[in-house]
Amino acid sequence: MACRGTAGDGHRASATPSRVSPGSLSTCRTHAHNICMVSDFFYPNMGGVESHIYQLSQCLIERGHKVIIVTHAYGNRKGIRYLTNGLKVYYLPLKVMYNQSTATTLFHSLPLLRYIFVRERVTIIHSHSSFSAMAHDALFHAKTMGLQTVFTDHSLFGFADVSSVLTNKLLTVSLCDTNHIICVSYTSKENTVLRAALNPEIVSVIPNAVDPTDFTPDPFRRHDSITIVVVSRLVYRKDILETKKSTKMKTKISGIDLLSGIIPELCQKYPDLNFIIGGEGPKRIILEEVRERYQLHDRVRLLGALEHKDVRDVLVQGHIFLNTSLTEAFCMAIVEAASCGLQIVSTRVGGIPEVLPEDLIILCEPSVKSLCEGLEKAVLQLKSGTLLAPENIHNIVKTFYTWRNVAERTEKVYDRVSMEAVLPMDKRLDRLISHCGPVTGYIFALLAVFSFLFLVFLRWMTPDSIIDVAVDATGPQGAWTNNYSHSKREGENSEISKTSLPGYLNCNCQCCTGRYVETHCSTLLLTLILK
């Protein structure tokens, strides 16, 4: 893990001004924030967004901020769970519509989210991913409640197909009155500014990061033969349109289609070359057909789905890492592979050229011919011994992207946002109508009015003043932390048991006497929320 600080160690972020590069963020004093990360994508689901949210949250907790995460339920994982350093995760009972994204009506989630925001005394809502309906819901409701909002865009989108047009229009509505937007690369920033018609001054670039201690090289585990490693989701989402000259028809191709053309060509040319492919998805059938057609069962290994903890053990077996993605805002996979000491060969798309220096990556056009040439160049360098040693590559990469640096830069965004005013309802309606067009603008302005009236009704039914304040995982006055003095804890335990404590602490389990958190307390808290 990138940040291993203790949640209750009393550490608070420094109040001294930090130097910021010109044109990025204004310098301001740092103070503790109550932050709610919202996204449909979080553990146990695996991916770059999930890892980003978890690691960023841990580092923000280390810097003295309170962080909670809100996502939807995954199977039996419902209610409230506590992760490392007291990171609280709400798994809400919302139905999944498609690809782990929840269905949305803008209103069904308001009672739950409002209760959580009030109970946790949230001051900043930080939503992640354009694909997440819950993230857009949280932004919409937070503005209705007068909370500060931040959005991180992790993906690139086109402008032509129907899916992109609809998503871009939704993004325009969500971001037109959002306080600040974060993108993971400069290419992603340009893409988001164009898609949502944003002022570039409210968009910052903060890259992803990798924990270098989790991705270390191990040359002794490499195979004797040249091994190319591919770790990817074998899906159809990342594709482009290709025009065939013979039929003049446009067909969609994906990165896996490119890989299926590369494998037989290189295996025929280099008898000592093998492939290791990790990942699962609907495009796996294409790779299985290629392996069967060319009888490459002993040279192409398909590992299937990989746990994140197993990725490093796969990477260190290879010499070259191949990335065939056709759209990437910031490819964490190539940073992880480089941290393990592999030479990178990748398509020149999206924000990938910004990620690594030229001596660590060979960039190719998104075609079978160009990628084969790039791989052959890497093979020749490997055979001639001109590639950098794995340990040297690791030492270079580990200084590029760290989660603590990402957290520090994100903290500056929170500081800037906390000093901004939230648009009142009349100005918010004007912004929606003027920014989103005459049709979409009036529709969502009407929805904003309905949302406000629904919020007024909820506040009448359950006023904010009677909603209990949630006790953090550190306990009352830090009573559940290791550095809390034993004598002080024993002296206050009797007072705690006699006092009417907020919410789920009004029970007799061991967690409420200052020892540790029990799971049934979390169940009680969820019951209160659902009421």
Both 138 and 178 in one domain: the answer is yes
Q: Residues with Cβ < 8 Å from 506, sequence gap 6 or more?
A: 500, 512
Q: What are phi and psi of 493, to 5 degrees?
A: -60, -40
Tally of CA atoms within 13 A in the half-sphere of 446 that contains its CB: 5
What is the pLDDT at residue 252?
A: 63
Position 450 in a domain: no
CATH number at residue 44: 3.40.50.2000
What is the pLDDT at residue 30?
A: 60
Both 261 and 388 in one domain: the answer is yes
Position 320 in a domain: yes
Residue 84 identity: T
Asked whether the beta carbons of 132 and 41 are under 8 A apart, the reply is yes
Residue 155 identity: S
Task: State how far Cα 143 lies from the chain centre.
Answer: 22
Final residue in a domain of this structure, among 358, 384, 399: 399
Both 42 and 179 in one domain: the answer is yes
Distance from C-alpha of 272 to C-alpha of 276, rounded to nearest angstrom: 13
What is the pLDDT at residue 254?
A: 79
Position 446 in a domain: no
Q: Residues with Cβ < 8 Å from 184, sequence gap 6 or more?
A: 152, 153, 154, 205, 206, 207, 208, 329, 330, 351
Cα angle 440, 70, 2 (rounded to 5 degrees) comes to 120
Total domains in the chain come to 3
pTM of the model: 0.80
Position 12 in a domain: no
Both 39 and 186 in one domain: the answer is yes
Both 250 and 150 in one domain: the answer is no
The full length of the chain comes to: 531
Both 297 and 228 in one domain: the answer is yes
Asked whether the beta carbons of 116 and 94 are under 8 A apart, the reply is no
**Residue 346: which domain range?**
219-399
Position 366 in a domain: yes
Tally of CA atoms within 13 A in the half-sphere of 291 that contains its CB: 15
Both 335 and 394 in one domain: the answer is yes
Both 394 and 490 in one domain: the answer is no
Position 154 in a domain: yes
Distance from C-alpha of 531 to C-alpha of 526, rounded to nearest angstrom: 9
Partnered with residue 253 across adjacent β-strands are 240
User: In 3-state terms, what secondary structure has residue 243?
Assistant: strand
What is the pLDDT at residue 99?
A: 79
Both 255 and 335 in one domain: the answer is yes
User: In 3-state terms, what secondary structure has residue 326?
Assistant: coil
Q: To which H or E segment does residue 263 belong?
A: helix 255-269
What is the pLDDT at residue 87?
A: 94
Both 359 and 265 in one domain: the answer is yes
Tens of pLDDT along the chain (531 residues) come to 567 544 444 443 433 333 333 334 444 446 789 999 999 999 988 788 999 999 999 999 999 999 999 999 998 999 999 999 989 999 999 888 887 888 877 788 999 999 999 999 999 999 999 989 999 999 999 999 999 999 999 988 877 778 788 888 989 999 999 999 999 999 999 999 999 999 999 999 999 999 899 999 998 888 889 999 999 876 655 444 444 444 444 556 778 999 999 999 999 999 999 999 998 888 899 999 999 999 999 999 999 988 888 999 999 999 999 999 988 889 889 999 999 999 999 999 999 999 999 999 999 999 999 999 999 999 999 999 999 999 999 999 999 999 999 999 999 999 999 999 899 999 999 999 999 988 999 999 999 999 999 999 999 999 999 999 988 776 565 666 555 444 444 454 444 333 333 333 333 333 333 333 334 444 444 444 444
Question: CA 99 → CA 48, 131, 140, 383, distances in Å?
Answer: 15, 9, 22, 43
Asked whether the beta carbons of 400 and 215 are under 8 A apart, the reply is no
Residue showing tokens 């057909």:
289
Position 306 in a domain: yes
What is the pLDDT at residue 235?
A: 62
What is the pLDDT at residue 100?
A: 83
Long-range contacts of 156-165 (CB under 8 A, 24+ apart): 156/187, 156/188, 156/191, 156/327, 156/328, 156/329, 156/350, 156/351, 157/130, 157/191, 157/195, 158/327, 159/194, 159/195
Give the 3-state secondary structure percentages of the chain, helix then strand then coil, rounded to 5: 45, 15, 40
What is the pLDDT at residue 251?
A: 55
Q: What tokens does 498 get?
A: 């006699």
What is the pLDDT at residue 439?
A: 92
Radius of gyration of the chain from its Cα atoms, rounded to whole angstroms: 25
What is the pLDDT at residue 447?
A: 94
Tally of CA atoms within 13 A in the half-sphere of 198 that contains its CB: 30
Final residue in a domain of this structure, among 364, 399, 434: 399
Both 46 and 99 in one domain: the answer is yes
Final residue in a domain of this structure, among 384, 399, 414: 399
User: In 3-state terms, what secondary structure has residue 274?
Assistant: strand
Position 184 in a domain: yes
Distance from C-alpha of 372 to C-alpha of 483, rounded to nearest angstrom: 58
Both 204 and 304 in one domain: the answer is no
